[in-house]
Amino acid sequence: MRAYFSRRYRLSASHRLHTDSFSEEQNRAIYGKCNNPHGHGHNYVIEVTVGGPVHEETGMVCDMVHLDACVRKEVVERFDHTNLNLDPLFQDRVPTTENLCMKVYQLLVAAFDEAELVRVRIEETSNNSFEYPVSGVLR
């Protein structure tokens, strides 16, 4: 029997949405106020969902302490109170929340093996959220 467990984490980070291959006018047209040369910040909520069999002895999908330690080490300590544009993961890509979501997923899937990483969802604002991967989407 398979079950799922989701846990939420919070971090604050800044970024500037800007692509060097575009002109200043193109960047402003595409990214609007998010292209501010000084950047802007968000209080991100990151939800991590893992899945797997419920362990008979513990009654849990995974050890929450291990999951917390992994997310803290791989994600929170790395990105909290930083400028995402300066992280090597975003050296060649715009640090949109879509890209952040995919990178967080990749970091966690490589580091956490106690259960299957099913999904990472990042809430950027009360109106914007992103998730990766998305299953069951009609194409």
DSSP string, the chain: -EEEEEEEEEEEEEE----TTS-HHHHHHHHGGGG-TT-EEEEEEEEEEEEEEPPTTT-SSS-HHHHHHHHIIIIIHHHTTEEGGGSGGGTTS---HHHHHHHHHHHHHHH--SSEEEEEEEE-SSS-EEEES--S---
Determine whether 124 is an active site residue: yes
Out of 15, 81, 114, 116, pick the active-site residue: 81
Out of 74, 98, 124, 131, pick the active-site residue: 124
Confidence check: pLDDT of 1 > 60:
yes
Determine whether 114 is an active site residue: no
Out of 34, 74, 98, 116, pick the active-site residue: 34
Give the pLDDT band (50/70/90) at residue 139: very low
User: Is the CB of residue 96 less than 8 Å from the CB of residue 123?
Assistant: no
pLDDT tens, residue by residue, 6-41: 999 999 999 999 999 999 999 999 999 999 999 999
Q: All domains of the chain, ordered by start, with CATH?
A: 2-132 (3.30.479.10)
Q: What is the pTM of this model?
A: 0.94
Determine whether 34 is an active site residue: yes
Query: What's the rounded Cα separation, in Å, for the pair 72 and 4?
Result: 20
pLDDT tens, residue by residue, 55-81: 999 999 999 999 999 999 999 999 999
